[in-house]
Structures are given as C-alpha cells and as structure tokens.
Amino acid sequence: QVHLVQSGAEVKKPGSSVRVSCKASGGTFSNSSIAWVRQAPGQGLEWMGGIIPIFDTPHYAQRFQGRLTIIADEATSTAYMELNTLRSDDTAVYYCAGVRFGELLRENWFDPWGPGTQVTVSS
Amino acid sequence: DIQMTQSPSSLSASVGDRVTITCRASQSINNFLNWYRKKPGKAPELLIYSTSTLQSGVPPRFSGSGSGTDFTLTISSLQPEDFATYFCQQTFSSPLFTFGPGTKVDIK
C-alpha cells in the first residue's frame, strides 16, 4: 500500500519561496496523480493544484496561477510543490494526496494523504 | 467556478446521536461528490466517494446520498472518534476541484 512522506516544516520570510516534497513509499508514482491541498489556521481545506498524467499539464487553482509550480519525478516517485512570493497568509499546513479514479474521468477522490508540512511565513 | 456550501457550519451532538450534514453545489455535479473527515493535527481521511460509496475500512455508520446539487452525509451513531470537521468535495470540474467550507461536529 502506498504511503506518502512529506518534507519537514519550513519557516520562510515574506517574498521568498518554499518547496515541499512528497515521496511515495511502498509503491510507485508511475501513472499516479497528485494533488496539493492546504489548510490555514482556523480555515478549511483549499485545493491548490495537481498533476494528473492523462492531462498534459499541471492544473492550478485560479488564485495560485503564476505563483505555484507542481512537478512529479516518476524516477524517484517524488512530487514537489513550489510556492513563490510568500505572504503571511500562506502560513498553513500543506498536504499532498494521491488522486484516484473510478470508471469515469470525473470520478476522482483523494487517497492516501501525506501527513502534512507546516509552512510558516513570518518576518 | 463551482461553489460548495455546507450546513450547518457547526453542530453539537452526543455519542450515539444520528448526525446529518448537508452539502450543496452551485450547479449540478451529478454524483461527483466526496466526503472527508479531518481531525486536528491529522491529515484528512476519505470517508465516501462518488456520493455513496464507502471507502474501504470506513465503518458502515457513515453513509452518503444525493445527486445533482444536494448531498447528505449521515453518521448513524456518533462515536468519540467522529468529533471532527467534515468536508465535502466536488470533482465534476476535474481536474479542478473544490472543497466545501466544512462542518465542525463537537461534543454537546
């Protein structure tokens, strides 16, 4: 069974960038899809973007366009999320999750989930 | 963009209670609707996908129903580990996804 292992907590200055990794353990990333979701303090879950191989390019939520990059390295079964121009309101726990498919293309669900990476943006 | 709402935003209940949470989409999403449970400090857990399919290993006290724009998550007999926040998620607009704002279930 695949488990997702994420990189450790980060503390960043406003305006800088952060890169969070997500490695599949006990399985591979081949033809796998990954989503990134964050939860800011006291807030709900927010889908940020993801990679689904059947589509040619990563997809990003509108509010992160131009600031977010998601890549997947199948050779190392590792996905990366890089968020640029950090602001204080980017302080959150960032989760990666596997995207699973049913019989229909839109029949998706997120499982498993990584344990989360705390990113704190503070001057 | 498809917007998701949930009601109530929070509720208080006791162990053994039957709990119902509603999720509404701003347009029809067929049955492309999932439910997750989120405990503080833990990663979200998938409970139900495609409106009513129970994820492997999830207790049968959880059930889901609905179609189109209105969906329901029911917990038939609330257990101590169910005090958490519940989120719905639409995948109709895949590969773009949206979560609902969440419903917090706490102890009465």
Average confidence score pLDDT of chain B: 97
In the predicted model, is pLDDT for residue A99 greater than 60? yes
In the predicted model, is pLDDT for residue B2 greater than 80? yes
Question: B50 and A44: CB-CB below 8 Å?
Answer: no
Length of chain B: 108
Identity of the residue numbered B67: S
| Chain B residues in contact with A105 (beta carbon < 8 A) | 94
Strand partners, B19: B75
At A2, the pLDDT band (50, 70, 90 cuts) reads confident
Which run of H or of E encompasses A46? strand A45-51
Distance, C-alpha A69 to centroid of its chain? 9
pLDDT of residue A52: 84
Q: What are phi and psi of B95, to 5 degrees?
A: -90, 15
Question: A62 and B1: CB-CB below 8 Å?
Answer: yes
Closest by Cβ to B43, choosing from A47, A108, A113: A113
**Chain segment B42-52, per-residue pLDDT in tens:** 999 999 999 99
Question: B44 and A50: CB-CB below 8 Å?
Answer: no
Q: CA-to-CA distance for A22 and A36, rounded, in angstroms?
A: 10
* Mean pLDDT on B66-86: 97
**Chain segment A37-79, per-residue pLDDT in tens:** 999 999 999 999 999 877 778 999 999 999 999 998 888 889 9
In the predicted model, is pLDDT for residue B77 greater than 60? yes
pLDDT of residue A29: 56
Identity of the residue numbered B13: A
pLDDT of residue A75: 85
Closest by Cβ to B94, choosing from A37, A106, A111: A106
- Of the CA atoms within 13 Å of residue A51, those in its CB half-sphere come to 21
> A60 to chain B, minimum CA–CA distance in Å?
7
Q: Using the Cα atoms of residue A65, residue A66, residue A70 and residue A71 in order, give the sign of their dihedral.
A: positive
> B84 to chain A, minimum CA–CA distance in Å?
12
What three-state secondary structure class fits A63? helix
A3 touching B (Cβ < 8 Å): no
A93 CB-near residues (< 8 Å, 6+ apart): A38, A39, A116, A117, A118, A119
Contact B38, B102 (CB under 8 A): yes
Could you give the strand order of the β-sheet that contains B70-75, starting from the edge strand earlier in sequence?
A: B4-7, B19-25, B70-75, B62-67
Contact A65, A85 (CB under 8 A): no
